[in-house]
Structure 1
Amino acid sequence: MSYPPDPNNPYHQQPPQQPQQPPQPPPGYGYPQQAPQAAGYGYPQQAPPAAGYGYPQQQQAYGYQPMPGTIQANNGYINIAQLGPVKIASMGQRFVARLIDGLAVGAVIALVMALGLAGSLGIVKDTDDCSQYSYGTVSYDDCLQQQTDAATGLVATMMIMIGVLALFNLLYEWLMVSFVGATLGKMAMGLRVVKESNGQTPGLGGGFIRFIIPIVGAFLCYIGALLVYLSPFFDNSGKLQGWHDRAAGTVVIKK
C-alpha cells in the first residue's frame, strides 16, 4: 500500500536517530564519583607545631604564639611578653660580664682608696718629731696627743671611704639594673636583665631584691654569694635563672 509523498520530505529521508543514553546504574553500584573530601580525610593540612617545638621563626610563620615565659625546646630561646622569642644569656657570657664589672668597680675603688690614703698619711707625723728634748711652743705630751688624734682620724677616714665605696657599689649594681637593665659589663656583652612576666626593666624593687640576695650570702664567708651566682647551673627549667633571679622574677637575655 502506497502513501502519498510527504511534502516536507520528498526524498523519503530517514530522520536522524537520537543516540540512546546507557542506563545509569543505581546508587551504590559501579565506580562512585569522586566526592569532595570531608574534614579529616585525604591529606591533612599542615598543622602548626606544638608548643615548645621548632624554631621561633617557624612558629611565628605558623601563627603560633607561646605563653609568656615559655621555654623553647632545645634552642635556648624563651618567649617574653612584648619581646617575643629571645635568646637566654649563657653562663659564659654572664661570667665575662661580671668580670668586666669587677674590673670597672675595682679600678674606681683602688683610685679612691689611693687618694684617700695619701691624703690621710700626709697629716700623720713621725713620732721622732715629738722628742722629749725638743724645744718649741708644743710640748711633748701635746705632740703625742696630736699624733693620736691624727691616727684616729686616719682610721675614721678609711672607714668612711669603705662605706662610701660600698654605697657606690650598691648604687652601681642596683640602679643600673633597675632602670637600664644592664651594668657596664652586661652592656659590653650585649646582655639585659628583664622581668619574665612583661619584658620590662626590673624596677627599684626587683633590682634591689636581685642585688641584695648575693650580698646577704656574702656574710657566710662569701660562700653563700658564690652559691647564688652558681645557682643558674641548678635550674632545670632551661631558663638559667639563679636564686636571685627567681626571687626578683627576672631573666638574663641576649639582645
Structure 2
Amino acid sequence: MSPEPLSPPQTPQLPGMPPLATPGQRFAARLVDTLVLGVLWAVALAATGALQYSMDHPGEQDMARVTLALVLTMAVYFGYEGTMLSRTGQTLGKKLLRIRVAMLADGDVPARRGWVRAAVYALPGMLVPVLVGTVFWLVNSVSLYWDKPYRRALHDKAARTVVVTA
C-alpha cells in the first residue's frame, strides 16, 4: 500500500470573501506605499531644514531637525494610511495590486478599525532612532508568514482585519 501524496496546506476560504492576498501581493503593495513614505520623508527633511543642514555641513546631521522630520513623516503617513483604509480598505499600493483590507468577521471595509491598523503599522516608525521602530517593523512584516491560517501581520491582528483580493 503506497502512502497518500501530501498536498500543500490549503488556506481556508473566508465565508463571503474573496481569496486571501498572497504575501507577494502584500509585499509589492507595501513597496508602492513605501515610495509614498519616501516622498513624505523627503518633503519633511526639506521642510524642517534637515536636508539643507546636511548639504551645508557634509557628514553632519542636525538630529533635532531629523527627528522632527521623522515624527512629521510618520504622523502624515499614519493619516494617509488611516484615511485610505477607513474609507475603502485600500492604500495606493493595495489599489495597484488589486488587494484590500477587510474585516475578518464580515469582509466589510475597516472604517474605524482602519485607523487602529494604521496606528500599529505607522506610529512605531517614530521610534526608528532608538532602533525599536525598525525591529518592530521587521517582526510585524514577517509575522504574516507564520500566522495560520489567515496570514495576518500584527497590525492586522490588532485591527481584526485580513487582506484579500479586490
Taking structure 1 as the reference length, the TM-score comes to: 0.49
Identity %: 29
2:32 to 74, 97, 100: 100
Kindly indicate whether structure 1 or structure 2 has the higher relative contact order, using CA contacts under 8 Å at least 6 residues apart: 2
Residue in 2 aligned with 1:173? 81
Distance 2:146 2:21 in 1: 15
SS of corresponding position for 2:148: coil
SS of corresponding position for 2:49: helix
Distance 2:107 2:133 in 1: 35
| Count of residue correspondences | 146
| Alignment gaps of 5+ in structure 2 | 1-8, 57-61
| Alignment gaps of 5+ in structure 1 | 1-72, 125-153
Q: CA 1:155–1:79 in structure 2 vs 1: closer, same or farther (change >3 Å)?
A: closer
Residue in 2 aligned with 1:201? 109
- Alignment map for 1:83-232 (pairs within 5 Å): 84-114=16-46, 116-117=48-49, 161-204=69-112, 206-214=113-121, 215-216=123-124, 219=127, 220=132, 222-232=134-144
Distance 2:146 2:156 in 1: 13
Deviations along 1:127-174, one digit per CA (max 9) or x if unpaired, are xxxxxxxxxxxxxxxxxxxxxxxxxxx987766544432321110111
SS of corresponding position for 1:187: helix
Q: 1 or 2, which has the higher helix percentage?
A: 2
Taking structure 2 as the reference length, the TM-score comes to: 0.72
Contact 2:124/2:133 (8 A) holds in 1:
no
User: C-alpha root-mean-square deviation of aligned residues, in Å?
Assistant: 3.0
- Bigger Rg over Cα: 1
Could you tell me how far 1:194 is from its partner in structure 2? 0.6
Which residue identity lines up with residue 246 of structure 1 in the other structure? K
Could you tell me how far 1:201 is from its partner in structure 2? 1.1
Distance 1:101 1:178 in 2: 16
Could you tell me how far 1:85 is from its partner in structure 2? 4.2
Distance 1:218 1:242 in 2: 19
Could you tell me how far 1:221 is from its partner in structure 2? 5.1
